Structure 1
Amino acid sequence: MASSKEYLHYILEQLSGLEEITYRAMMGEFILYYRGRIVGGIYDDRLLVKPVKAALSAMPSAVYEPPYDGAKPMLLVEEVDSKEFLTGLFTAMYSELPAPKPKKNK
């Protein structure tokens, strides 16, 4: 099942307090970026984030779920209705996220 644009826009609205939130559509789902770094994504209308230490400490009882069959499990964010929680989560996670790989020249 692909994610809906309505759910994407809801999550983007919840994160509107942060600058540089972008997304990329990929096979019916959406990859979320914060300041150029991949934070997670929206898969089957679920917000999943990378399981970095900051996310684990903010959501100690979070459930690991794979975004799609065969993928590494990510953390399911259940508290999507709190702007304050989501912006704090993304801000705390930023320093632990890998920097984007430089693009190779063709």
Structure 2
Amino acid sequence: MASDKNFVQFVSEQIAAAGNIRTRKMFGEYAVYCNEKVVALICDNQLFVKPTSAGRAFIDDVVEAPAYEGAKPSFLIEDRLEDKDWLSELVRLTEQELPPPKIKKTKKASK
């Protein structure tokens, strides 16, 4: 089941204080970016935050689940979606620990 645009907008608003937030639709679901780093996925109207040491320590009682079949486990956030401050801090901590995005090489035009 694809995620609802209203849910994606809600999550984006909840984490707005974490940094520059944007989402990108991918295969009916969404990647969530903070400062151009993918920090989470929204699948089936559920929020899955990339696992980091800082995030694990912040959450304390972590629930992990794959965002989709075959995916690595992520932090499934269910009970704290309404808490803007907590959720923004989790996303901020996650973004800070993730490496910078890889720079894509441009293809040279063939002659």
Q: TM class by shorter-chain length?
A: over 0.9
* 1:41 CA displacement: 1.2
Runs (5+) with no aligned partner, structure 2: none
Aligned residue for 1:95, secondary structure, equals helix
For these two proteins, the number of residue pairs brought into alignment is: 106
Q: Return the alpha-carbon distance in structure 1 between the equivalents of residues 9 and 106 of structure 2.
A: 34
Runs (5+) with no aligned partner, structure 1: none
Deviations 1:19-50 (A, max 9, x none): 31011100111000100111011011111011
TM-score, normalised with respect to structure 1:
0.93
Deviations 1:52-101 (A, max 9, x none): 01110111212111111111111101211000001111111222112111
Corresponding residue of 1:43: 43
Aligned residue for 2:16, secondary structure, equals coil
Corresponding residue of 1:87: 88
More helix, by proportion: 2
**1:98 is aligned to 2:92:** no
Which aligned pairs between 1:11-90 and structure 2 lie closer than 5 A?
11-78=11-78, 79-90=80-91
What stretches of structure 1 move > 6 A for 4+ residues in a row? none
Q: Return the alpha-carbon distance in structure 2 between the equivalents of residues 17 and 51 of structure 1.
A: 20
* 1:17 CA displacement: 2.4
Of stretches 68-77 and 87-96 in structure 1, the one that deviates more from structure 2 is 87-96
Aligned residue identity for 1:10:
F
Q: Return the alpha-carbon distance in structure 1 between the equivalents of residues 62 and 37 of structure 2.
A: 22
Aligned residue for 1:101, secondary structure, equals coil
CA-based RMSD: 1.1
